A = this chain, B = another copy of it.
Amino acid sequence: MMTPLYKTKLYLNASECNAQRQISLPLLIQRLIETATEHTDLLGVGYSHLSEQSKTWVLSRLSLSMDKFPSINTYYNIESWISMINRHFVERCFAISDDNGNPLGYARTVWIAINLETRRGGDMTEIMSHAPILDRACPVSSGTKIQPVKAPESISTHTFGYCDIDFNRHVNSTRYIETLLNTRQVEFYDQHAIKHFDIAYMDEIHYNDRVTIYTATTGENTTTYEISREGTPVTRARITFN
């Protein structure tokens, strides 16, 4: 079914919630990725189709703006559509709403189908030649480029283990985000809601990789994060809190 707008209704039960009794940022992003995966499967260009061509989908960038996160024991909706296809990437948008259809937030993501051997992208317009594009408002900017962390205010390290890796044998996209959030104490999140989140996956992290996480305040309520491996940045991210 070549439906341009894919909709899914989900329920957030207690056992899925974070300490603030809401959906956590990593779980929300996991749900967005799952929604994208399901829609892409329906469009006939999912992981199983791509693997026949020795390719796989990777998430390259994500920007998310939330007025309110879905909270414990409530239904929420995710709508997703492809907003742009060009030679280099596919842009996919998401609208998150509550059970009554009131908007909670929006996300904009960039995906690349990479070759499993070369780890480089091909021509997306070929792969997606039959995929429908939807012209629909998605009020979230991809934000300005995330700058390097020059004078880190906190430095921590993490080694990724077996449970952090996905079916591609690379660290799951949401596990990167956990390492960023884990740089702060639980009490901070009682006081500060996440308003805007940007992440740029610059290189894949592998099993057993040991990374360093640098953070810096780069605005009144904004923190910039850099995940670095052997001195080279592999991911940059930025969170604006309320």
Contacts and interface: CB of A to CB of B under 8 A. Distances in A.
Interface in A12-43: 13-19, 21, 24, 26, 30, 33-34, 37-38, 41
A77 to B, nearest CB: 18
Given A15-B30, A16-B30, A16-B34, 16 more contacts: A13-B34, A13-B37, A15-B34, A15-B37, A15-B166, A18-B163, A19-B166, A19-B169, A21-B167, A26-B163, A162-B181, A162-B182, A162-B185, A163-B181, A169-B186, A186-B207
Interface string A59-75: 00000000000001100
A185 B207 CA distance: 9
- Copies of this chain, complex-wide, total 2
A239 to B, nearest CB: 13
A48 B73 contact: yes
A194 to B, nearest CB: 12
Nearest to A156: B161
Size bin of chain A's contact surface: 35 or more
B162 A189 contact: yes
14 contacts: A13-B34, A13-B38, A15-B33, A15-B34, A15-B166, A17-B167, A18-B166, A21-B167, A24-B163, A41-B73, A161-B182, A165-B186, A185-B208, A186-B207
Contacts of A163: 18, 24, 26, 178, 181-182
A46 interface: yes
A150 interface: no
A186 B37 CA distance: 24
